[in-house]
Structure 1
Amino acid sequence: MEVIEVTNSELVNAFHRVPESIYKNDPNYIPPLKRMIENTFDPAKNARFKRGDARRWVLKSEGKYIGRIAAFYDQNYASSYDQPTGCCGYFECINNQEAANILFGTAKNWLQQHGMEAMDGPVNFDENFFFWGLLNEGFQPQTFGMNYNPAYYFYLFENYGFKTYYEQYSYSLDITDPDLPERFWKIADWVAKKPGYSFEHFTYKDQKKYIDDFIEIHQKAWGNHGNYKPLDFDVLKATLNNAKILIDEEFIWYVYHDGKPIAFFMQILDLNQILQKIKSGDLTLWNIVKLLYYKSRKVITRCRVIVLGVIPAYQGKGIESGIFHHLKKVMLKKSWYNDMEMSWVGDFNPKMNALFKSFGAEKKLTHHTLRYLFDREKEFKKAPIIH
């Protein structure tokens, strides 16, 4: 077996071809957008290269590409833990432990050369909204940006020495369902009308204001968590502008109290419902035409909630219910949307898990973010609980 660093267009194509043989008989697999992956590895389009670096490799055996992996680090993420921690992702491999070990070892060695002492995976060299975690429960077609993998991947990671750092749960909910708890909607209606509170949805026209407000909410809502990683304005701006096809402005909501931002909600369109029909992650001109056609035909019926945050001083006041009050009106107006996937919530966040269950949401998926400590004698610690 030969591991080869991806350094030219031919090897980039090989990197993208690896999943073809692994998933050729799996009807649940939906190819991710190649352009989205390539943007991750482009320093001109990924602001994380300002404080980090990334590499990727393919594994070749008997003339065939049988695996791939990427490794990356950025100083904000690395410095958030007890030891400098890098990451690996975009892992694909045949069911062969030796092949997997070569890939993991390659990523580990490169990260060690850059001062890292641990490796998280499979994750993304970007915000954790996309391609984050190893699927371990809910082997079904995934919503856009959610990792899908064969069940045996968990054992490849585990046998190498990775352990679960935290579990990630995703829930399903039809917000227009009349059987949702009546108490929930009474609270929602009450909160939505409280004096001093205002609710407004995102617009690209005022995106600078909304990005700034989101960063402020995010810092206040999650800044006290031991593993908090500050957000970067340029990263968020690039993500929003690269993802316009996924975004309906009326699906991103902010809450203000006396003019100050206190809560944020964002859901994106499940583009995978179209990509599953196209059966290709290549955005050729013809595929773009088909994508736009299917979108106009309202093929997308599902949305994916990627973040919901309320600053601590306003938690427990029903603010989330007020957001859903306004969102329900939008979804009733756009009645072809009938399913919300709320993803993902870490097992370290019991309050948010309890909140989603109180909405009447049903847990559908479990992903794992795994960690490998390079010092095999060091004590392994799971992600701390948010209280």
Structure 2
Amino acid sequence: MPLLVVADASRVRQFLDLPVRLYQDHPNWISPLDQDIESVFDPAKNPNLTQGEAIRWILTDAQGIVIGRVAAFINASTAHIDPTLPTGGMGFFECIDEQDAANELFEACRRWLAERGMAAMDGPINFGERDRFWGLLVAGFTEPNYGMLYHPEYYRRLFEGYGFQTYFKQYTCYRAVAAPLHASFARSAERYARELPDFRFAHANRSKPEQLARDFHHVYNLAWANHTGINPMTLEKARDIVAQMKPVLDDRLLWFAYHNDQPVAFFMSLPELNQIFKHVGRKFGLPQKLRFLWERYRFNRRQPKRMFGVIYGVVPEFQGQGVDVAMLVHAQRALLAAGYTDIEMNWIGDFNPRMLAVIRSIGARIHKTHVTYRKLFDPARPFERSPIIK
């Protein structure tokens, strides 16, 4: 089975085309945009390539038909978090249901990473932030949200058959927007309105992108940047995120809590874009952009209407004080008025019991499960799960 480096346009096309054939009998599969995949491997669009390194392969059978693909990469900002266990990554794995073929792809990643000083690899992950293309779907084989991957059930067997072990699980949770919140939530919101005038709750204003970027940047860095595997965000990066969201942003889905006009919590969501992109396709040229505008118009006027939670955070000083609960009460009213019926909240790690408790408190349930695996190159080394956030 020849293993070929993806180094020219024809092999890029083979790399991108393989899933179309593998998933032709999977009605819930929604293809990522080609440009979203390619941006991961474009030095002009992925800053991790300035100090890190990446490689891609396709695997063919004796007749030259592509039967698998994979990428391996070293992210300089995360590879040495544990100096005793330099860890690279692998991702964008797709393969026929054949263990030997999968092993060939996994071994290519292991060899390449080991030659560069790595002692383990995590996968399937993204060469960049955790907010997309991260983890293997192992439960809840429904339509994927934008930026999340769908996989066939046999992939789990291929990963574990090679020797990958579960490093952590990440959950996508669901609730109906109209489902009642616990009565204590309303009491908390009333208390803030009655007794704590220094607090206010408001959704974003798309006409003020600089304020949105600054508020997001402030809460994100205080709430999340000290967690393992998550880097502080620059203000410029926050501005870029807001600019990228602008074409699909719905102000009523981005909520902040303020204390003396300083942002202290946020709950940020977007319209579920795959409910639009599944009608548009993989490419995003001019015809597809026009189709996107039409499908977005239809999405905004139909039900059920799904949104997905992108990120939630409270600065440490205000955690456990109910400020986020009061914020959610205000947000629910706006979401219902905007016609949203369902929400899926992405990427809640099993290493974050506090966040899982919040999810349970609002009546959400686990809807999908992705697994991030780790493969130790030294089989004698004891395996350890991702540490729990205290």
Q: Under a length normalisation based on structure 1, what TM-score does the superposition of the two structures give?
A: 0.92
Matching of residues 5-44 of structure 1 within 5 Å: 5-44=5-44
What CA deviation, in whole Å up to 9, does each residue of 1:204-224 have, x standing for no partner?
A: 555455444434433332344
1: CA distance between counterparts of 2:53 and 2:207?
32
Which position in structure 2 is the counterpart of 1:92? 94
Please tell me whether residue 70 in structure 1 is matched to residue 71 in structure 2. Answer: yes
One-letter code of the match for 2:77? Answer: N
Judging changes above 3 Å, is the alpha-carbon distance between structure 1 residues 376 and 247 closer, same or farther for their aligned structure 2 residues? Answer: farther
SS of match in other structure, 1:354: helix
Which position in structure 1 is the counterpart of 2:318? 314
Which position in structure 2 is the counterpart of 1:349? 352
1: CA distance between counterparts of 2:67 and 2:140?
25
Which position in structure 1 is the counterpart of 2:332? 328
SS of match in other structure, 2:129: coil
Which position in structure 1 is the counterpart of 2:134? 132
Judging changes above 3 Å, is the alpha-carbon distance between structure 1 residues 116 and 241 closer, same or farther for their aligned structure 2 residues? Answer: farther
SS of match in other structure, 1:289: helix
Matching of residues 265-280 of structure 1 within 5 Å: 265-278=267-280, 280=281
2: CA distance between counterparts of 1:238 and 1:223?
18
Q: Among 141, 147, 150, which residue is 1:148 paired with? A: 150
One-letter code of the match for 2:21? Answer: S
Judging changes above 3 Å, is the alpha-carbon distance between structure 1 residues 239 and 36 closer, same or farther for their aligned structure 2 residues? Answer: farther
Matching of residues 1-387 of structure 1 within 5 Å: 1-61=1-61, 62-81=63-82, 82-177=84-179, 179-191=180-192, 194-203=196-205, 206-278=208-280, 280-297=281-298, 298=300, 299=302, 301-335=305-339, 337-387=340-390
2: CA distance between counterparts of 1:373 and 1:236?
35
Query: How far off is 1:188 after superposition?
Result: 3.2
One-letter code of the match for 1:290? Answer: R
1: CA distance between counterparts of 2:192 and 2:121?
43
2: CA distance between counterparts of 1:143 and 1:192?
35
Query: How far off is 1:311 after superposition?
Result: 1.9
SS of match in other structure, 2:166: strand
Contact 1:124/1:131, CA 8 A, preserved across alignment: yes
Contact 2:213/2:242, CA 8 A, preserved across alignment: no
2: CA distance between counterparts of 1:243 and 1:59?
36
Judging changes above 3 Å, is the alpha-carbon distance between structure 1 residues 277 and 73 closer, same or farther for their aligned structure 2 residues? Answer: same
Unaligned runs of 5+ in 2: none
Q: Which region of structure 1 is more displaced relative to structure 2, 355-364 or 186-195?
A: 186-195
What CA deviation, in whole Å up to 9, does each residue of 1:130-159 have, x standing for no partner?
A: 111111110111111122100111111111
Query: How far off is 1:371 after superposition?
Result: 0.8
2: CA distance between counterparts of 1:222 and 1:150?
32
Contact 2:173/2:344, CA 8 A, preserved across alignment: yes
What CA deviation, in whole Å up to 9, does each residue of 1:9-46 have, x standing for no partner?
A: 11111111110121011101011111111111111112
Contact 2:306/2:343, CA 8 A, preserved across alignment: yes
Q: Which region of structure 1 is more displaced relative to structure 2, 46-55 or 66-75?
A: 46-55
Judging changes above 3 Å, is the alpha-carbon distance between structure 1 residues 359 and 192 closer, same or farther for their aligned structure 2 residues? Answer: farther
One-letter code of the match for 1:116? Answer: M
1: CA distance between counterparts of 2:150 and 2:355?
24
The two structures, once aligned, show a CA RMSD in angstroms of 2.1
SS of match in other structure, 1:323: helix
Query: How far off is 1:338 after superposition?
Result: 0.7
SS of match in other structure, 2:77: helix
Contact 1:192/1:322, CA 8 A, preserved across alignment: no
Judging changes above 3 Å, is the alpha-carbon distance between structure 1 residues 115 and 191 closer, same or farther for their aligned structure 2 residues? Answer: farther
2: CA distance between counterparts of 1:50 and 1:233?
20
2: CA distance between counterparts of 1:147 and 1:367?
9
Query: How far off is 1:228 after superposition?
Result: 4.1
1: CA distance between counterparts of 2:212 and 2:369?
31
What CA deviation, in whole Å up to 9, does each residue of 1:333-373 have, x standing for no partner?
A: 311x1111011211111111111111111211111111111
2: CA distance between counterparts of 1:134 and 1:173?
22
One-letter code of the match for 1:24? Answer: Q
SS of match in other structure, 1:364: strand
Q: Which region of structure 1 is more displaced relative to structure 2, 109-118 or 203-212?
A: 203-212
1: CA distance between counterparts of 2:235 and 2:59?
36
Query: How far off is 1:95 after superposition?
Result: 0.6
Contact 1:47/1:234, CA 8 A, preserved across alignment: no
Query: How far off is 1:162 after superposition?
Result: 0.9
Unaligned runs of 5+ in 1: none
Contact 1:90/1:123, CA 8 A, preserved across alignment: yes
1: CA distance between counterparts of 2:168 and 2:362?
23
Contact 2:216/2:238, CA 8 A, preserved across alignment: no
Contact 1:5/1:56, CA 8 A, preserved across alignment: yes
One-letter code of the match for 1:48? Answer: N
One-letter code of the match for 1:52? Answer: G
Query: How far off is 1:327 after superposition?
Result: 1.8
One-letter code of the match for 1:57? Answer: W
Contact 1:80/1:229, CA 8 A, preserved across alignment: no
SS of match in other structure, 2:278: helix
1: CA distance between counterparts of 2:208 and 2:53?
32
Sequence identity, in percent? 38
